[in-house]
Structure 1
Amino acid sequence: MSQALALMPFGELTEQDIVTVRETIAKDCNDSQFRLFMGIAKASGANPILQEIHPSVFQGKLTVQFGIDFHVRKAKETEGYLGYDVQLVHDNDTFKMHQEKAEDGRYYAVIDEHSWGFPRGKVVGGYAIAYKEGYAPFTVVMDVEEVEHFKRSQIGMQKTMWTNYFNDMFKKHMTRRALKAAFGLRFDDVEPADSSPASYEAPQRKDITPEVAVMEEKPQPQDEDDEVTQFKKAKFEMKKKFTQLGITETSEILAYIDKHAKPKGSQPTLAEITGLLKILDMHIAEQQEQAASEDELT
């Protein structure tokens, strides 16, 4: 680690604290990513030593996550904070709820009954309630199916945490949502590609040969010039989406295509590229949701 990084000032953190962060939670960051991460931590007031914020590098792309402890601390600093509750619902529990309409016309959820014995069975859902003085309790209710995809995450640590510590991760996920909504917490998980140093963002490749599968019906007939233009636009969009996913090497692109799509001919058609764009959009959305919900078990 360079001397400049080691001596970077950061609130109450000592030089040794910064070295510890660099060698532990930020060990996968390069120097530019580490500088960016520490800058975001300082600007937000989140302490990486207390696990309030941590970086994640996936396929060369940096994402910054705010931990549950930071959400709780910021909520406590908000006027009117009265605490929160979070519970899991199991398939042998008795659980009933309904909605009521507040005076301002907005609806809110009311838990009528939640009782249980043992064995409780598998987790089928859960809820988190945030309490704020002068307001109806804000309740987040989720079915377990809404978070099952985290167990299939391509991010190694996220998949491990959600598989091995599912109940705790599910509780934290719901708590974060409830606190952010009830107390207007504006910070969120960050993918700082636009504000990062040039050395951080992976460069786009100029030549990428698309290999895709047919994912939709044939397009309507159109004149040749218009189809050529659309083909070029679709290929350009494909390049951007691969870069957004952090997939920039030819070998990675071919591996992705081999796993998710196979063209019928030697040259892809406009329909085939359009089909691949849909697959890329789906994985980009999943990656963004995963990044926004990833937190550490503390």
Structure 2
Amino acid sequence: MTNQVAVSSTQAVVGTFTQTELDTLKHTIAVGTSNEQFALFVQTCVNSGLNPFLNQIYCIVYGGKMSIQVAVEGVLALARKQQGFRGVDVELVHENDDFKYNPASKEITHSVGFPRGKVIGGYAVAKKEGFTDVVTIMEVNEVEHMTKGNNKNMWTNYFNDMFKKHIMKRAAKLQYGIEIAEDEQISSSPVEEATSGYRKEITPNQIHIGEGEVIDPEDEMKSRWSEIKRKQKMYGLSEDTLKDIIKANFNKTPKELTLQQVVGLSRLMDLEGKKKTAEPEEITFDDLDEF
């Protein structure tokens, strides 16, 4: 009997995850998730091909609500899978540096001396074979709001690292066409996030979407429903089928759905679409909270 347990724990049961790995995820990176939230997190890992054990994707639960987050490491992992990947270089610019950039030629000259002084900006260059380099340049004042936002502890204590990751993320997404939904936050590792003591409450008219940014729920609801309609056409789902999915998973009419449930509906539609090719195990959610 003992041998049977040992063997089953090494066999993939969801995607490439073994039962032992799922148990480890549940009690570490995904600690505090409900069974439904954990199922969604695991399925997101499988569908995206990102590895939570390598800090590429993770989730944070506060107030009973879960936020799935894709780290900079995850963005780069997706970029590396593309043909022609040549990396992303990132540097910070200090007030005593000699820095010049020509937008027309995309030529950068950057010389450093000591003392360098305080950080005043930064840049990242994303390279892809056969494509023009993507150069992203930012000044410090463009991210000052981050030090006062929901992730302010990380931005205050590790500003240089967070700033570099922020610039790198922008350049990589542009060059490699990486699209990440707004509810998937880009931040640091889950260990850093957990030890920062961050558990800031969100005001009723704002929702946290990553790195201190907030959104207006009414505008976001309109945007999410537009996304739902787009996916409905893409996956060839009828109005009745869409209503059935909503009824089965949320026991509500479309107009009664909350913003969090609309986000969950979008993910469920992706799963429905993937069934046509991969036939994954069906997952239903009685109540889905993403934020």
TM-score (norm 1): 0.57
| Alignment correspondent of 2:154 | 161
What corresponds to 2:18 in structure 1? 14
1:25 paired residue among 19, 26, 29: 29
Matched, 1:135 2:128: no
Q: What CA distance in whole angstroms lies between the structure 2 residues aligned with 1:63 and 1:291? A: 13
For residues 1-298 of structure 1, the aligned pairs below 5 Å read: 9-100=13-104, 110-154=106-150, 158-188=151-181, 190=183, 280=205, 283-284=206-207, 287-290=208-211
In the alignment, the residues of structure 2 paired with residue 34 and residue 58 of structure 1 have an alpha-carbon distance, to the nearest angstrom, of 14
Give 2:123's aligned amino acid: Y
Does structure 2 conserve the Cα–Cα contact (< 8 Å) formed by 1:98 and 1:111?
yes
Look up the SS of the partner of 1:9 in the other structure: strand
1:193-240 CA-to-partner distances (Å, cap 9, x unmatched) read xxxxxxxxxxxxxxxxxxxxxxxxxxxxxxxxxxxxxxxxxxxxxxxx
Assess, with a 3 A threshold, how the Cα gap between structure 1 residues 17 and 121 changes in structure 2: closer, same or farther: same
Compared CA separation, residues 49 and 291, structure 1 to 2 (3 A): farther
Alignment CA distance shift 1:146-1:88 (3 Å): same
Quick one: distance in 2 between partners of 1:24 and 1:121? 40
Q: Where do 5+ consecutive residues of structure 1 fail to align?
A: 1-5, 101-108, 193-244, 248-255, 258-279, 294-298
Cα RMSD (Å)? 2.9
**Is the partner of 2:30 in helix, strand or coil?**
coil
Q: CA deviation at 1:184?
A: 0.9
Structure 1 residues 8, 150: CA separation in 2 closer, same or farther (over 3 Å shift)?
farther
Shift, 1:55, TM fit: 0.7
Higher relative contact order (CA 8 A, sep 6+): 1
Which structure would you say has the larger Rg?
A: 1
Moved more, 37-46 or 54-63: 54-63
In 2: Cα distance, 1:27 partner to 1:147 partner: 30
